[in-house]
Amino acid sequence: MSALSLKPLAGFNPFPGPVVTVIMDGVGLGPKNESNGVYMAYTPLLDELLQGDLVTRLKAHGTAVGLPSDGDMGNSEVGHNALGSGRVFAQGAKLVNEALMSGAAFSSKAWQEVLRRASTGGTLHLIGLISDGNVHSHVNHLYALLDQCLRDSVNQVRVHGLIDGRDVGPKSALTYFAPLEQRLLQLSVDGRTYRLASGGGRMITTMDRYNADWSVVERGWKAHVLGEGRPFSSACEAIQSYYDEDPAMTDQYMESFVVVEDGKPVGIMEDGDAVILFNFRGDRAIELSRAFDEPDLAEFDRKRVPDLFYAGIMQYDGDAHIPAHYIVEPPAIDRTLGEYLCAAGITSYAISETQKFGHVTYFWNGNKSGYIDDNLETYVEIASDKVTFDLRPWMKAAEITDQVVAAIESGSYKFIRLNLANGDMVGHTGVEISVRIAVETVDLSLKRILAALEKVGGIALITADHGNADCMWTEKNGKRSAMVAHTRNPVPLIIKDYNLKNTFQLSHLEQPGLSNVAATICTLLGYEAPEEYDSSLLVLR
């Protein structure tokens, strides 16, 4: 018997339609007040579905998705890992924390090569998001790297700081950059020079994902590598100047800058240098890693490619080996739901737009690129709009829904999964009217998908990977501030069965989370969940 075999569920009656998993990205369950974009939106179908019998709430943050503590908000990467793997794995921040604290990171081959470069006069460049959002990075990891540089006698360090404003407050950059510049100044003694060298807002500098807009990476390359950009005497001067010039601007869209001294950029990368990207999340790290690693990159003209050593804090794509070198070993996610379904011969279909396509494929499949079995699987990517999503909050939901309805009607797939990105991507803009429209768009898409499922006698499992749209703003001393980060609210789990050949009931687990969804999908498909999976949310009565 195959190690990946699924055992049929006793007493299960097969049914003709598919099981469709809808991931309403960023749609959490928050307090019923004006700050909650999900509550404030007109969502007649979702409101009705939430009153059904097979409905519960899932934990989608903190330890339930492998993050260090329950103070950590969930995110799409770890959420889809948990959804697709059926278990909780120690994730980016936790892995990096442990490796930095234990010192394991500094015994890696990559760190030893960094030290070799530094010992022969090379500069170490540290690139990453400067915040404590703990979604793509944590500033404490940067401080740990700087402390180790001090212990290992690294004399030349340049920090290239990306500005958040998305997983933290929308205009909070100086909270992080001011103490960092002060710390670098304190370290710049006894022959050491540690400086902040360049930066820019994360949505327009360096941190593109899924090949959506390579000009974002090109902008970062110019600032970090070539030293090209608007000059300032310090990062804090740059940030304050941009604030003064455009009070409406938020951090994530801040233009890039370079720090200069005596008219020359302080952080140009040269032959013999070393570079570490200290962001731990993969999706917005892969393209920059390719720019450093690939000798014949075609996506943009790098102008000059110095002979340097590049490493990620982690490996961001295990299958594609991106990057070639990394400081911390990645989580080993195996025996994913996709692998089990392919072993059982079940046909499946996965779709989203560019912004979340990797989530229903790469992250769902345990941080692995490509098909598990292209004879059984179909993956479809709809190109995202290249605009700020508050301007088109409907995004590509209609196009995705068209394709899903066609897939349902085709009868070719037993398992279909899709991600509707609206609640998250528009939630990150903090524009209230757009957030409500985004959630209403999801409700309309659900209506069309469920109508198609009803015709063929299928089952829908509706959930989310984390919250976002469920908190549009926070209030302090009577003043509202846009809330653009993810939330720690629970997310819905809704089962809508249009076949009724089987009778399911909730299993009433004590603290259900996203990792229980994979076993639940097995139940709906008529299989016992693998022994290693967290329990199903349903029992067959």
Domains of the chain: 19-91+348-540 (3.40.720.10), 93-328 (3.40.1450.10)
Q: Alpha helices of 396-485 — where are they, by DSSP H? A: 397-410, 422-425, 432-456
> By C-alpha distance, which of 280, 308, 143 is closest to 224?
308
Handedness of CA 282, 283, 285, 288 (dihedral sign): positive
Q: Tokens for 448, please give them.
A: 């069309």
Find the helix packing angle between 76-85 and 517-525, rounded to 10°.
40
* Chain centre distance of CA 410: 32
Q: Tokens for 69, please give them.
A: 């503590």
Mean pLDDT in each 10-residue stretch from start to end of the chain (541 residues)? Answer: 83 97 98 97 98 98 89 89 95 88 95 98 98 94 98 98 96 98 97 98 95 96 98 98 97 98 97 97 92 97 98 83 90 92 98 96 93 98 94 98 98 98 96 98 98 98 98 92 92 96 95 98 98 97 89
Three-state DSSP class for residue 455:
helix
Q: Tokens for 35, please give them.
A: 């700050």
Three-state DSSP class for residue 227:
coil
- Longest Cα–Cα distance in the chain: 78
User: Got the DSSP string for 316-384?
Assistant: SBTTTTBSS-EEEPPP---S-HHHHHHHTT--EEEEEEHHHHHIIIIITTTS--S-S-TTTEEEEEEPP
What residues contact residue 128 under an 8 Å CB cut-off, 6+ apart? 136, 137, 141, 142, 160, 161, 162, 277, 278, 279, 313
Helix %, strand %, coil % of the chain (to 5): 35, 20, 45
Annotated catalytic sites, by residue? 76
> By C-alpha distance, which of 407, 405, 472, 490 is closest to 444?
405
Per-residue confidence (pLDDT) for residue 153, from 0 to 100: 97
C-alpha distances in angstroms, 406 versus 156, 349, 358, 459? Answer: 58, 11, 22, 16
Report the b/e string of 8-21 with b at 16+ CB within 10 A. ebeebeebebbbbb
Q: Tokens for 242, please give them.
A: 């941009």
The residues with which 377 forms a beta bridge, in sequence order, are 348
What's the CA gap between 62 and 69, in Å, rounded? 5
